[in-house]
Structure 1
Amino acid sequence: MQSPILFLVTFILVIIAWVLIKKLRKVILFELDQNSKHFGGELVADVLKVNHFILTLFPSEAHDVQFLFTLCGGHISPILVAAERQNIRVIDVRHEASAVFAADAVSRLSGTVGVAAVTAGPGLTNTVTAVKNAQMAESPVVLLAGAAAGLLRGRGSLQDIDQLSLFRSLCKWSGRVNCVKDIVPILCKAFYLARSGTPGPVLVEFPIDTLYPYGLVRQHLRISDNPRSWRQRFINWYLRFYLFRLFANGFRIQPCSPGQIPTQIPVSIPSIPWPSMKHIEQLVWLLSQAKRPVVVVSSQALLPPVPSAQTAEHVKSLRVPVYLTGMARGLLGRHHPCAFRHARRAALRVADLIILAGTVCDFRMDYGRVLNRKAKIVIINRDKKQLCLTSISVTLGAVTMKNCALIV
């Protein structure tokens, strides 16, 4: 007797809940303009060209991306369309790896963040070598990747694979956009992390339904207008709920303070390690006492925010022998008397002070074995791990890359 009564009470409660959810849907699920023609790709292009948050707080720090390298694919088409509308030059290449290599090159030559966009699955896996190259070169690169719709993830959708797991070891950070309103904060976070600390590549995954307009996504879901059964009604309710969660408040971009951003990442100038005054004073004293100092400058010394021309002037003012490697080659010009090109190994063996500015003790430095063990050794680097790549005792290891611009 209790079972029918319990069933009836449960049924009535479900009906009441259904009515309440239907009446309060806009309040519960925020605002949604079902007739809007806007789409997520527009938000991506907005962040690439003019970051709304940063433009409000720090006008000089807008991203202002000039080039977007890609190999066209259906998963990312809305990004490419919107980027062209923002006067971003979309350059289509013949292999996804070339897109990331090109973004890496732009980053190294311009000092800005390089951006590439590739389609889901094999489109992304084709970039592995290029992404690893950017990681090794410490180039700030943002890789935009398409992905299967969130509703179909793990269900055999076209080119659906676990992309984030594959790239976790290759990128500083990998993130996924789960709804339209997260596009701006997550992409801002990606740009912030790509340039902060030790620069490197980051990956942002965009499920295909976060990039297309509401009407097109709803049409693709095939929601029945006249459900004939409770099962069909429940499926319709679930799909509508999914749509609301996907698009609610998606196009209400308003400037906000760093604490209000959902990712809790401060929207500001990228975080760059600074040297302490104690380290600066100690290095100045070591330079004043040295009789045979040698400076080795490598690629990391040319990273922003200090302009390379300013770095070159400070290096010249040291008036000590300088060896240039990596992207720092040519920093002092062809005929500067302090720029040495030959006998580096011999110089490092007799030097009494060795300053490695952004230089890693890897195979090119014979893992530190070429350094004079009796010399005072100073390593300046943004990455703490790079300070430990030598078996030689380090006199001063500074986790910074303001290098000569602040040392002198």
Structure 2
Amino acid sequence: MASTGAEILASTLKDFGVEFISTLCGNGLNRFYIACRDSGIRLIDTHNEQAAAYMADAYGRLTGRVGVCAVSSGVAHSNALTGVANAYFDGSPMLLITGASAGYGAGRGVFQEYDQTALAAPICKLSKCVYRVGDLEFMVEEAFRTAMEGRPGPVHLTVPLDVMEGEVEGDPPKRRRLPPDVASLQASESLGPDLRLVEEAAKIIRASERPIIVAGSGVFYSGGQEALIRLSEAGAIPIVIPIWDRGSVERSHPNFLGVIGAASGEPRLLEDADLIILVGARVDYRVGFLEPPKVRPDASVMRIDVDASELTQGTTPDVAILSSPAAALNALADSLSRLGGPTHREWMMEARERWRRFRAKWVERSPPPSKPMTGWHIVNALRPLLTEEVVF
């Protein structure tokens, strides 16, 4: 029995757990839409390609699964790249599928023809064009794996019209199964941390006076939320999260002391720390590039990441642990517990008090009722109605 490229693409996405695709209808995708409907994949039509891409970005960030969007060729592709760029900077796993005119028309002036893969490449972990129907399954699997492994991020596949409409004979090959999300992939493929490095790191943490954990999206994507709390509680270490990164600790937890990188200048926890433990987080403007005056000149830096290239991104750490953040955090918590000795409770109490004063100061500065309303008035009115499940 013959299968079209569109049918193979849709069924492969279905096998990898895709439940919906955000899209904006355009030429070249019609066969794919029909195949998605037949495969049980829901299509969510948007009013702009940017919205479709942002939807896939948000889905990837919230779930740790690959969000998928599909757009047409030409300017539709370039419109979608705004959302792809956002996923690239914030490390969200997503797949952009772009249509294109048939490959046999290349160079002959077909509709809005340009090198779509080259345009997407600087902001994608992988950007390729599928030239043969028989390559679709392999390339979709490669795209999904690339989006989820290491530091997650966006990937792109251009699928020309002749590939969508082309047919192959015979039964579909048996597909290798991918773990459904980033955490499962990391758990199945990544090695645990070097225990000698873990012991060294635990001793450095114990010897420090003012350590702080900067928990990035990598903690969430590795499923390390509970492990993060274990380490924080074992050593009485404050936790902060860089703005734009995926949260990995309940805001109500007493050891969570806010979001950094929002240009507030307070409560100066990072600036006064003598040990900065970056876990699944990047060195960039949000942490002042880890340079004075944002950090102390004598501050030590410890780094944990599943992606080897991230361990030296932006700085050379004093200790670098290549591991799934979840595995490394659990190992560090165990090692700290075995070491015993004093924790950092005085520093934790001071940090909590700074955070309390910082928040109280903003309440004191709140403007009186006025016309027109300000953003502060709106948020303050909504606050009692919002739950922990609300996402801004």
Fold agreement, TM-score > 0.5: yes
The equivalent of 2:332 in structure 1 is 407
1:311 offset after TM fit, Å?
4.0
Are residues 1:376 and 2:304 paired?
A: no
The equivalent of 1:48 in structure 2 is 13
**SS of alignment partner, residue 168 of structure 1:** helix
2:274 & 2:27 partners in 1: Cα distance? 60
**SS of alignment partner, residue 341 of structure 1:** strand
User: Any stretches of 5+ residues in structure 1 without a counterpart?
Assistant: 1-32, 51-62, 215-246, 259-267
Contact 1:298 1:326 in 2 (8 A): no
1:101 & 1:256 partners in 2: Cα distance? 29
Tell me how many residue pairs correspond in the alignment: 316
Is the alpha carbon distance of 1:332 and 1:161 closer, same or farther for their aligned partners in structure 2, counting shifts above 3 Å? closer
The equivalent of 1:338 in structure 2 is 255
Contact 1:48 1:65 in 2 (8 A): yes
Write the deviation string for residues 113-164 of structure 1: whole angstroms up to 9, x where unpaired: 0001111111111112111111111111111111111211121112322111
1:3-402 matches, within 5 Å, as: 36=2, 38-50=3-15, 63-212=16-165, 247-249=167-169, 251-255=170-174, 269=185, 271-272=189-190, 274-304=192-222, 306=223, 308-326=225-243, 331-341=248-258, 346-369=268-291, 370-384=294-308, 386-388=310-312, 390=314, 394-402=317-325
1:281 offset after TM fit, Å?
1.9
User: Any stretches of 5+ residues in structure 2 without a counterpart?
Assistant: 178-183, 260-264, 334-392
Most deviating of 278-287 and 41-50:
278-287
1:135 & 1:296 partners in 2: Cα distance? 20
Is the alpha carbon distance of 1:208 and 1:328 closer, same or farther for their aligned partners in structure 2, counting shifts above 3 Å? closer
1:185 & 1:64 partners in 2: Cα distance? 16
Contact 1:299 1:328 in 2 (8 A): yes
Is the alpha carbon distance of 1:300 and 1:344 closer, same or farther for their aligned partners in structure 2, counting shifts above 3 Å? farther
Most deviating of 309-318 and 346-355:
309-318
Is the alpha carbon distance of 1:69 and 1:182 closer, same or farther for their aligned partners in structure 2, counting shifts above 3 Å? same
Contact 2:53 2:81 in 1 (8 A): no
Is the alpha carbon distance of 1:329 and 1:124 closer, same or farther for their aligned partners in structure 2, counting shifts above 3 Å? closer
Most deviating of 99-108 and 72-81:
72-81
1:328 & 1:313 partners in 2: Cα distance? 20
**SS of alignment partner, residue 356 of structure 1:** strand
Is the alpha carbon distance of 1:119 and 1:358 closer, same or farther for their aligned partners in structure 2, counting shifts above 3 Å? same
1:310 offset after TM fit, Å?
5.0
Write the deviation string for residues 323-366 of structure 1: whole angstroms up to 9, x where unpaired: 22336676433443322239766333433322111232322222
1:378 & 1:269 partners in 2: Cα distance? 24
1:328 & 1:122 partners in 2: Cα distance? 29
Residue identity in the other structure for 1:283: A
Contact 1:172 1:193 in 2 (8 A): yes
1:390 offset after TM fit, Å?
4.6
1:94 & 1:272 partners in 2: Cα distance? 40
The equivalent of 2:339 in structure 1 is none
Contact 1:118 1:124 in 2 (8 A): yes
Contact 1:296 1:359 in 2 (8 A): yes
Write the deviation string for residues 309-328 of structure 1: whole angstroms up to 9, x where unpaired: 55445544442122223366
Residue identity in the other structure for 1:396: V
2:86 & 2:41 partners in 1: Cα distance? 25
Write the deviation string for residues 345-398 of structure 1: whole angstroms up to 9, x where unpaired: 63334333221112323222222122222232112234555444556x631123
The equivalent of 2:344 in structure 1 is none
1:93 & 1:256 partners in 2: Cα distance? 31
RMSD value over aligned CA atoms? 2.7
Contact 1:352 1:372 in 2 (8 A): yes
Contact 2:224 2:329 in 1 (8 A): no
Residue identity in the other structure for 2:290: G
2:193 & 2:281 partners in 1: Cα distance? 17
2:152 & 2:308 partners in 1: Cα distance? 13
The equivalent of 1:5 in structure 2 is none
Q: Percent identity?
A: 29
Contact 2:90 2:245 in 1 (8 A): no
1:41 & 1:142 partners in 2: Cα distance? 16
**SS of alignment partner, residue 237 of structure 2:** coil
Of the two, which has the highest radius of gyration?
Answer: 1
- The TM-score, its normalising length taken from structure 1, stands at 0.70
